[in-house]
Amino acid sequence: MSVINLQEKLNLFSDRWSPKKIAELNNQQILLAKIKGEFVFHKHDHEDELFMVLKGQLKIELRDQTVTINEGEFYVVPKGVEHKPIAEEEVHIMLFEPLSTKHTGDVVADITVETYESI
């Protein structure tokens, strides 16, 4: 394993809503993604999901509130909680989640990614 530069990895892709795997750690995957617009409401029944904002501002809409995550902050969505990420401008995020976590949880949508590309 070598040192990973997050900006260098982010410079390797431009597609949105398609996380890229940059490392694995104790059965967890570390993903980078660029997002803009609205995702779909979904949940992960058995896994928590950590969203860390590297650039921009991300909103996570829950059924009863909206959480705002600013650059340099993170938020953990507890397992079983429906959520919908929203990015008014392009946002760069890092995700920490178990290897078993499905991209859109229990929902299949046009933006669902079955297998994450490793970069």
Averaged pLDDT of the chain: 89
Domain assignment of residue 1, yes or no: no
| Section 65-82 average pLDDT | 96
Tens of pLDDT, residue by residue over 15-58, are 998 899 999 999 889 999 999 999 889 988 988 889 999 999 99
* Contact assessment for residue 119 and residue 12, using Cβ atoms and an 8 Å cutoff: yes
Residue 20 placed within a domain:
yes
Domain count, the chain: 1
Q: Is residue 110 part of a domain?
A: yes
pLDDT the model gives residue 109: 57
Q: Is residue 75 part of a domain?
A: yes
Which of 48, 53, 33, 46 shows the shortest CA–CA distance to 117?
33
pLDDT (mean) for 80-89: 96
Coil, strand or helix at 4: coil
- What is the distance between the alpha carbons of residues 53 and 95, in angstroms, rounded to a whole number? 9
The pLDDT, as a whole number, for residue 55 is 98
Does residue 73 fall inside a structural domain?
yes
> CATH number, domain at 34?
2.60.120.10
What's the whole-model pTM score?
0.85
pLDDT for the residue numbered 44 = 87
What is the number of other CB atoms lying within 10 angstroms of the CB of residue 114?
7
Tell me the residue range of the domain where 18 lies: 6-118
